[in-house]
């Protein structure tokens, strides 16, 4: 046997450089190999991407001025004095992440409103001018310290769009942006990810100009130079998500990736059509991250306390993200105290318990493994529990298979597979067959892509004596580092959530008086899956059933993307006491509504006594034949 070599030694030796620069891998070998490794096929990950794939599941922390204004996108004119968490507890946030089984957290150091959560001297629009710790606080640093204490990785989000900065849209803002990025990359230890949001340009405060500023993002930011800045200062940090960054967006904010989601993409600007499934055989290793919030919104809103995703939904999302080959990036927004609310903690803990229970024992560990083709005796590496060792078939053995002889009575319903990524994505399609003692093979699954991770869930547990992985279509002989078998543990069910927001006015009992289209009852059924749809312009007049002190209204968009109907982009409201004489109550935009699909909470200019409410929605947020709204309610 030749010298043993693992992924760790490959990384440490800097042998694996990505793309065509992989020749050194081919000239080496793996534990059990008697001939050198075959050459890689297609694009391969860089060392930092490879480490990032191992992070699998980590959290997002949206916490900022919006937490205190109940908005999803701040305009940029907010008073820093609004930022005042009463009981910020970064250890509680880190503990919630650990309870869920997360490996790290990424904090919004600055969202689109421009408010900086660290005491930078580069702007006055920052935490120094807030009451939090009398201006001496540093949320970025305090959460970093808590993550280090908890053994979590740490990453930062820095919104490229800045609705506060007077120079946004001009060259001077780019200097500012790079300077803030430099501070974040040099003051807070090792970062595992740096997040650049794709939402860029539009209206904003801009130092008082209050105007619309549109930019051509690739030309304005010169992304390759920004990515390089991060890599120079933080060589291990993966950047998200423009072309040239290490990680791409999965194309939705709903918590699922296509099956499969290839980590490869063409070397051209991102499109959602390509980004969702990835492109088999394309030249760039640009893997997807699946981002979603545990609540409808990215920021905490008390009126969403009853809409925290259940442990079962989180498990489904884990399967549809991690199990399809992407990482799972779950947002857990702190409330106005600066803590994760009880309901979210309960859901995260129940989900984490199910994950720990499921992955506690790998039932393939004592299997005897034989391969139809091998570069030596590497086959046993697939069940040794070590992702750094792998089975490798010769390059030409495209129809190779590996058989696990299992001890009796091992009932499993989840199969986890992992490809040895430094040799590329060699397997296009594969099948799993099983056989009982002396019995025939029967195929139980056929899927595309093994990739960074692939889960195969079975409808019920089975306990065959043999399991076979076989390629159905491959570009080169397979190289797999893991075949694991688990008995899944279902997450426990939580008791129904109780609304904690006393300002909420339920729409139970509201009645449509007039509307631009029928079907208005769907607005009041407390079900985000049913919607009222109307051609634009849409309007609806509602009888609230009694006079209310109305401060504003809540609008829940449909959560699913429908090519024929989109949420409204703007609103205009009128109220009335008698249904005859009406007064204007306000108007505004629904920020980020089409992508975030979050419940919106626009406020009127002040409190109004109203028995009737009329809402106008002039146009859909993206071109579509109809406007769709899933729910309406009010707040006092
Ligand atoms: C989006 C942003 O506009 C949202 O507010 C949120 O930060 C999400 C993660 O990305 O593009």
Alpha-carbon distances, residue 13 vs 9, 222, 234, 473, 598 (angstroms):
6, 31, 19, 33, 46
Query: Which domains are seen in the chain, by residue range?
Result: 49-240+290-358 (3.20.20.80), 362-486 (2.60.120.260), 504-635 (2.60.120.260)
Is residue 569 pLDDT above 50, yes or no?
Answer: yes
Q: Where are the alpha helices (DSSP H) in 54-197?
A: 65-69, 90-100, 139-150, 171-187
Range name among 275-284, 393-402, 562-571, 588-597 with the lowest pLDDT average: 588-597
Instruction: Give the pLDDT confidence score for residue 296 in this predicted structure.
Output: 87
Q: Is the CB of 291 under 6 A from ligand 1?
A: yes
Q: Is the CB of 72 under 6 A from ligand 1?
A: yes
- At 481-516, the pLDDT tens digits run 999 999 999 999 999 888 777 888 989 899 999 999
Instruction: Quickly count: other Cβ atoms within 10 Å of residue 431's Cβ.
Output: 16
**CA of residue 201 to ligand 1 center, whole Å:** 13
Is residue 345 pLDDT above 80, yes or no?
Answer: yes
Phi, psi of 95 (to 5 degrees): -65, -40
pTM above 0.85, yes or no: yes
**Token pair of 222, please?**
């010169």
Q: Is the CB of 199 under 6 A from ligand 1?
A: yes
**CA of residue 603 to ligand 1 center, whole Å:** 21
Instruction: Give the pLDDT confidence score for residue 593 in this predicted structure.
Output: 87
What is the residue whose two structure tokens read 């969202």? Answer: 111
- Describe the crossing of helices 90-100 and 342-359 by its angle, rounded to 10 degrees: 40
Is residue 525 pLDDT above 60, yes or no?
Answer: yes
User: Is pLDDT larger for residue 527 or for residue 99?
Assistant: 99
The Cα–Cα gap between 63 and 251 comes to: 23
As a dihedral over the C-alpha atoms of residue 157, residue 162, residue 163, residue 166, rounded to 10 degrees, the angle is 150
Using a CB cutoff of 8 Å and minimum separation of 24, what contacts does 10-14 make?
10/422, 11/47, 11/50, 11/51, 14/47
Q: Please, which pLDDT band fits residue 196 given cuts at 50, 70 and 90? A: very high
Instruction: Give the pLDDT confidence score for residue 14 in this predicted structure.
Output: 29
Q: Is the CB of 201 under 6 A from ligand 1?
A: no
As a dihedral over the C-alpha atoms of residue 141, residue 146, residue 148, residue 150, rounded to 10 degrees, the angle is -170
The Cα–Cα gap between 110 and 119 comes to: 12
**57: CB partners within 8 A, 6+ apart:** 100, 101, 102, 103, 318, 322, 327, 328, 330
Q: Is the CB of 159 under 6 A from ligand 1?
A: no
**CA of residue 596 to ligand 1 center, whole Å:** 7
Q: Is the CB of 113 under 6 A from ligand 1?
A: no
Q: What is the mean pLDDT of residues 537-553?
A: 97
Q: Is the CB of 196 under 6 A from ligand 1?
A: no
Q: Is the CB of 13 under 6 A from ligand 1?
A: no
Q: Please, which pLDDT band fits residue 29 given cuts at 50, 70 and 90? A: low
Burial of 541 (0-12, 13-18, 19+ CB in 10 A): buried
Is residue 332 pLDDT above 80, yes or no?
Answer: yes
**CA of residue 197 to ligand 1 center, whole Å:** 6
Instruction: Give the pLDDT confidence score for residue 328 in this predicted structure.
Output: 98
- Ligand 1 binding pocket mutation candidate from 592, 593, 597, 600 (most atoms within 8 A of CB): 592
As a dihedral over the C-alpha atoms of residue 170, residue 171, residue 177, residue 181, rounded to 10 degrees, the angle is 160
Residues of the chain with pLDDT > 70, as a percent, come to 95
Q: Which atom of ligand 1 is nearest to the CA of 293?
A: 9
Instruction: Give the pLDDT confidence score for residue 379 in this predicted structure.
Output: 97
- Residue 445, classed as helix, strand or coil, is strand
Tell me which residue has its CA closest to atom 6 in ligand 1.
298
Q: Is the CB of 202 under 6 A from ligand 1?
A: no
User: Is pLDDT larger for residue 501 or for residue 216?
Assistant: 216
């Amino acid at each position: 046997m030749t010298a043993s070599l693992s992924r760790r030694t490959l990384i440490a030796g800097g042998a694996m450089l990505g793309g065509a620069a992989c020749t050194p891998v081919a000239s080496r070998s793996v534990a059990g190999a008697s001939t050198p490794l075959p050459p890689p096929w297609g694009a391969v990950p860089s060392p930092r991407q490879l480490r990032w794939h191992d992070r699998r599941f980590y959290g997002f922390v949206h916490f900022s001025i919006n937490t205190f204004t109940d908005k999803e996108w701040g305009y940029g004119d907010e008073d820093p004095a609004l930022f005042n968490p009463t009981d910020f507890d970064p250890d509680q946030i880190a503990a919630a992440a650990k309870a869920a089984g997360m490996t790290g957290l990424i904090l919004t150091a600055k969202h689109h409103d421009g408010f900086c959560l660290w005491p930078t001297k580069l702007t006055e629009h920052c935490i120094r001018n807030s009451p939090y710790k009398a201006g001496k606080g540093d949320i970025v640093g305090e959460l970093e310290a808590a993550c280090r204490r908890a053994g979590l990785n740490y990453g930062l989000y820095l919104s490229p769009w800045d609705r506060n900065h007077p120079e946004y849209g001009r060259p001077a803002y780019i200097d500012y942006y790079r300077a803030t990025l430099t501070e974040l990359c040099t003051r807070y230890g090792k970062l595992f990810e740096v997040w650049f949001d794709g939402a860029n340009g539009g209206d904003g405060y801009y130092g008082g100009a209050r105007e619309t500023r549109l930019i051509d993002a690739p030309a304005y930011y010169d992304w390759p130079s920004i990515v390089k800045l991060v890599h120079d200062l933080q060589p291990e940090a993966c950047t998200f998500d423009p072309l040239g960054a290490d990680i791409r967006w999965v194309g939705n904010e709903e918590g699922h990736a296509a099956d499969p989601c290839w980590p490869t993409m063409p070397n051209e600007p991102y499109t959602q059509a390509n980004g969702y499934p990835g492109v088999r055989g394309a030249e760039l290793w640009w893997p997807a991250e699946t981002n979603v919030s545990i609540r409808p919104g990215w920021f905490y809103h008390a009126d969403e306390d009853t809409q925290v995703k259940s442990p079962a939904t989180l498990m489904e999302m884990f399967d549809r993200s991690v199990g399809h080959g992407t990482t799972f990036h779950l947002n857990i927004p702190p409330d106005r105290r600066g803590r994760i609310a009880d309901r979210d903690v309960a859901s995260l803990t129940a989900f984490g318990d199910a994950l720990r229970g499921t992955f506690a024992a790998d039932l393939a560990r004592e299997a005897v493994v034989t391969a139809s083709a091998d570069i030596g005796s590497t086959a046993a590496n697939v069940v040794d529990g070590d992702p750094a060792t792998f089975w490798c078939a010769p390059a030409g053995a495209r129809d190779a298979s590996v058989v696990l002889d299992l001890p009796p009575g091992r009932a499993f319903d989840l199969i986890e597979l992992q490809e040895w990524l430094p040799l590329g994505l060699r397997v296009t399609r594969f099948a799993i067959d099983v056989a009982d003692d002396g019995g025939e093979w029967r195929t139980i699954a056929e899927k595309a892509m093994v990739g960074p991770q692939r889960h195969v869930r079975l409808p019920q547990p089975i306990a065959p004596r043999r399991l076979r992985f076989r390629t159905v279509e491959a570009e080169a002989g397979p190289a797999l580092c893991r075949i694991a078998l688990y008995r899944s543990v279902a997450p426990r069910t939580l008791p129904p959530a109780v609304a904690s927001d006393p300002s909420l006015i339920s729409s139970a009992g509201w009645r449509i008086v007039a509307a631009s289209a029928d079907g208005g009852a769907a607005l009041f059924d407390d079900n985000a899956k049913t919607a009222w749809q109307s051609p634009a312009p849409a309007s609806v007049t509602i009888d609230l059933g009694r006079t209310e002190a109305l401060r504003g209204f809540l609008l829940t968009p449909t959560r699913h993307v429908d090519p024929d109907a989109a949420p409204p982009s703007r609103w205009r409201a009128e109220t009335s006491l008698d249904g005859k004489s009406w007064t204007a109550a306000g108007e505004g935009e629904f920020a980020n509504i089409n992508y975030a699909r979050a419940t919106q909470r626009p406020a009127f200019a002040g409190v109004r006594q109203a028995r009737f409410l009329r809402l106008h929605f002039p146009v859909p947020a993206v071109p579509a034949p109809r406007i769709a709204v899933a729910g309406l309610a009010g707040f006092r």
